[in-house]
């Protein structure tokens, strides 16, 4: 059955033997670690909603490869409608988790690698496309979480991969064998890899001939020998080790990033999807980036919905929901959030089929979407902080609230409007802190800037896609100007 239950997903991870490190020590059972578990719960929600008839249309699709019902996160987009449903699904999950749910990168990588391998085979007569199709059938049938891995450490940003003082600062092929290749290097900012069954590696930039050993794409299980996962720190992450849940802000859900080391990892031939075809590295990067920039018009909007709701609720608990300036700030938050959603839907609705058969978004509008995401969530967060008041960063702890000696003072002096328990007001304030400054800020505020490429990367693509010559011709035609 292509759809795993949430329990089957958890059990499948428990069977894996990943090499995960946190605070300098190896984590024997990542699935049970209190810092990691909230991020696992977010991925688990992608399995839960796929089992719910209410969300079946958004969360599942029919595979064009097998004809079976599959989780949409493993789907190849077959129409503009599929692209739109992807964004709506991401908004839904953002609303349900208020955090990063970690399967988007893999989904976007599937669609980018699919069309790129098709084009490589057409030019070079290689077998990458058929290999990838067989791999994706396996992923769909087993309903796997796949971590898309693109970003390299990069070292000196002014130098290409082959000119780095340390050649491993971009992941590379170090040995070719009859049965496969050996790779060495690292990938950074790896979203949800501890919760993933597989990792799908892609090059990080356009390459030249001298960089061909760095032009590599492949997939391996995340517990493959030589893969070492170093779990990333987040602000306030050790609060998850404390008793109680109030100070976590978001008590159930979260996200994570990691530094992933590939220490002489063997990749068998059937799992290799690019091996030295440097002229296609930039194409793969641009296609993946376009899909992933589309994604932000869904996931960030869903998380934004929760933050707007928290701002409105704390205004109510503070006794100022009818104040004109509060209402105006909430309206502005809604306006910004829905504008992000509009661009996510627009680039999807203007999608088109690739030669391989799957659908690709409108690249210009996808980059416009992500450019807005580098700005609007920061303003939404600022307005939420404004409405919340300073208490969301100066409030005493849950331990103080529970203290027999001083808890009564917190109950008395941190109360808002009559009829609302102090604890409820504190919960909402902690959630706002979590979403704007704490662990959730990694997947909302900061990732809005750097995820799917820097703001300048989008501006470069906007310049390439904008067709200024056509716009100038419009003026010449109106004014009867002849060249």
Write out the catalytic residue numbers: 100, 104, 191, 257, 292, 296, 299, 447
Those residues with Cβ within 8 angstroms of residue 247's Cβ, 6 or more apart along the chain or in another chain: 236, 239, 397, 398, 430
Q: Edge to edge, what strands does the sheet with 216-221 contain?
A: 146-149, 198-201, 216-221, 272-275
The strand order across the sheet containing 19-22 reads: 25-27, 19-22, 227-231, 258-268, 180-187, 172-177
Map residue 71 onto helix, strand or coil: strand
Give the pairing of strands 146-149 and 198-201.
parallel
Q: Tell me phi and psi for residue 379, to 5 degrees.
A: -70, -40
Residues with Cβ within 8 Å of residue 122, at least 6 apart in sequence: 355
Neighbouring C-alpha atoms within 13 Å toward the C-beta of 52 = 12
HSE-CB for 231 with a 13 A CA cutoff: 24
Residues 202, 170: Cα–Cα separation, whole Å: 11
Spatial distance between the Cα atoms of 240 and 394, rounded to a whole number of angstroms: 19
Token pair 């030295």: residue: 276
Q: Would you mind telling me the total number of residues written for the chain in this entry?
A: 483
As a whole number of angstroms, the distance between CA 123 and CA 280 comes to: 10
Cα distances (angstroms) measured from residue 115 to each of 75, 290, 354? 13, 13, 7
Reading the block at residue 115, the tokens are 């069309």
Instruction: Provide the 3-class DSSP secondary structure of residue 118.
Output: helix
First to last CA, the chain: 64
Q: What six digits make up the tokens of 368?
A: 């416009």
SS3 441: helix
Nearest partner of 62 among 52, 74, 49, judged by Cα: 74
């Amino acid at each position: 059955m292509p759809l795993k239950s949430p329990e089957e997903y958890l059990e499948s991870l428990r069977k894996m033997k990943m090499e995960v490190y946190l605070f300098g020590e190896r984590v024997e059972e990542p699935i049970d670690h209190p810092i990691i578990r909230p991020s696992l719960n977010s991925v688990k929600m992608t399995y839960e909603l796929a089992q719910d008839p209410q969300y079946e249309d958004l969360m599942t699709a029919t595979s064009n490869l097998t004809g079976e019902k599959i989780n949409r996160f493993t789907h190849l987009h077959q129409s503009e409608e599929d692209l739109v449903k992807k964004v709506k699904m991401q908004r839904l999950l953002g609303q349900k988790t208020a955090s990063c749910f970690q399967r988007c990168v893999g989904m976007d990588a599937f669609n980018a690698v699919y069309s790129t391998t098709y084009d490589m085979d057409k030019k070079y007569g290689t077998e990458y496309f058929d290999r990838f199709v067989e791999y994706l059938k396996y992923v769909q049938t087993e309903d796997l979480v796949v971590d898309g891995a693109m970003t390299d450490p990069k070292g000196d940003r002014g130098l290409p991969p082959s000119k780095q003082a340390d050649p491993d600062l971009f992941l590379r092929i170090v040995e070719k064998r009859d049965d496969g290749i050996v790779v060495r290097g690292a990938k950074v900012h790896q979203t949800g890899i501890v919760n993933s069954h597989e990792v799908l590696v892609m090059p990080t930039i356009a390459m030249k001939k001298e960089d061909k050993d760095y032009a590599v794409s492949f997939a391996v299980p995340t517990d493959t020998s030589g893969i070492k996962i170093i779990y990333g720190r987040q602000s306030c992450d050790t609060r998850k080790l404390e008793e109680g849940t109030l100070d976590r802000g978001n008590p159930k859900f979260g996200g994570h990033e990691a530094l992933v080391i590939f220490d002489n990892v063997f990749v068998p031939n059937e799992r290799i999807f690019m091996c030295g075809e440097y002229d296609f590295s930039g194409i793969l990067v641009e296609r993946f980036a376009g899909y992933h920039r589309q994604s932000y018009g869904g996931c960030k909007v869903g998380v934004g919905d929760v933050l707007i709701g928290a701002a409105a609720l704390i205004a109510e608990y503070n006794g100022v929901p009818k104040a004109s300036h509060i209402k105006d700030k909430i309206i502005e938050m809604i306006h910004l959030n829905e504008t992000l959603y509009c661009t996510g839907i627009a680039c999807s609705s203007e999608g088109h089929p690739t030669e391989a058969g799957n659908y690709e978004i409108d690249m210009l509008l996808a980059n416009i979407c992500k450019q807005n995401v580098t700005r609007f969530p920061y303003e939404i967060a600022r307005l939420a902080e404004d409405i919340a008041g300073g208490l969301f960063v100066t409030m005493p702890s849950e331990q103080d609230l529970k203290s027999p000696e001083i808890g009564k003072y917190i109950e008395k002096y941190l109360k808002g409007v009559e009829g609302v328990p102090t604890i409820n007001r504190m919960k909402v304030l902690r959630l706002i802190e979590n979403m704007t400054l704490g662990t959730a800020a990694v997947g909302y505020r900061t990732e809005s800037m750097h995820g799917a490429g820097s703001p300048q990367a989008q501006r470069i693509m906007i310049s390439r896609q904008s067709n200024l010559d056509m716009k100038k011709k419009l003026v010449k035609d109106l004014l009867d100007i002849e060249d």
